Amino acid sequence: MGRNIGYCRVSSLDQELSVQRVALERHGCHVIFEEKVTGTKREGREKLDLALKVLSGGDHLVVTRLDRLGRSLRDLANIAHEIENAGASLRVLDQAVDTATSAGKAFFGMLAVFAQFETDVRRERQTEGIARIMNDPKLRLSKYKGAKPRIDPARVQTLKREGLGPTEIATQLGISRMSVYRLLKENGHAPS
C-alpha cells in the first residue's frame, strides 16, 4: 500500500493554504508540499517538483482540486505522465478523481480540458474588457491612465534650491526621504 503525498497551492502570498491542508490531512496525507505561486505555468513550482520526485510505486499524489495542480492542459498532461511514470496515481478530492482506475483517468482528461477552457475564457474576457475600455473614450479617461504622480519633481528641485534638506523636503511634500534622494540624484543634484 502506497503513501498519500499531499500538494496544496495558492496563487498569491496573501491567500491561505489552511483549508487545503486540513482536507489533505483528513485524507491521510502525512507529507504535504505547500507553495504560494501561480498555477498558470509549471516553471518556478519547486514544491510540486519535489512532490513528484518523492513519488514511488503505489503512492498517490493528492490535491484538493485539479486547478491547484495546474491550469494548462499541457502542464496537467505532463504532470499526469510524470505521476504515471513513477508508478503512482493522482487523487483529486473535490472532483472525486483517482487515476488508479480507468474511469478516473478518463474523468481526469475531461477535467483537464475544462481547466484549460476556463483559463482561456478568463483570458479572452480580460482582453475583451481592456479592448472595450481602450475603444471607449469615456471609459479610457477613467481607466488605464496610471496612478497620478504623487511627487512633483520640479517642486523637489525648487525646495532644494531654497536650501531645504532631503528630510525637510520629504516632510513638506509628504513623501519618503528615499524618493527625495532618488529625484535629486536623477536630476544631477547631490543630496545634502
Residues whose CB falls within 8 Å of the CB of residue 191, separated by 6 or more in sequence, listed in order? 165, 166, 180, 181, 184, 185
Q: What is the CATH number of domain 4-118?
A: 3.40.50.1390
Instruction: With beta carbons less than 8 A apart as the criterion, state whether 170 and 177 touch.
Output: yes
Maximum separation of any 2 CA atoms in the chain, in Å: 79
- Whether the pTM exceeds 0.75: the reply is no
Q: What pLDDT digit, counting tens, does each position of 65-105 carry?
A: 988 988 777 888 889 889 999 999 999 999 888 888 888 88
How far is the C-alpha of 89 from the C-alpha of 97, rounded, in Å? 10
Report d(CA 148, CA 15) in Å as an integer.
Answer: 29
Query: Where in the sequence numbering do the catalytic residues fall?
Result: 11
Give per-residue pLDDT as tens, 94-149. 988 888 888 888 887 787 777 777 778 888 888 888 777 777 776 665 555 555 56
CA dihedral 32, 49, 114, 129 (to 10 degrees): 100
DSSP secondary structure, 141-171, as one string:
HHSSS-PPPS--HHHHHHHHHTT--HHHHHH
What residue segments make up the domains of the chain, in order of their start? 4-118, 153-186
Task: State percent of the chain over pLDDT 90.
Answer: 33
CA–CA gap between residue 58 and residue 1 (Å, rounded)? 6
Rounded-to-10 torsion of CA 108, 109, 115, 117? -160
Give me the residue label for grid cell 505521476: 83
Collapse the DSSP code of 62 into the 3-class scheme (helix H, G, I; strand E, B; otherwise coil) and give the result: strand
pLDDT at residue 176, as a whole number: 85
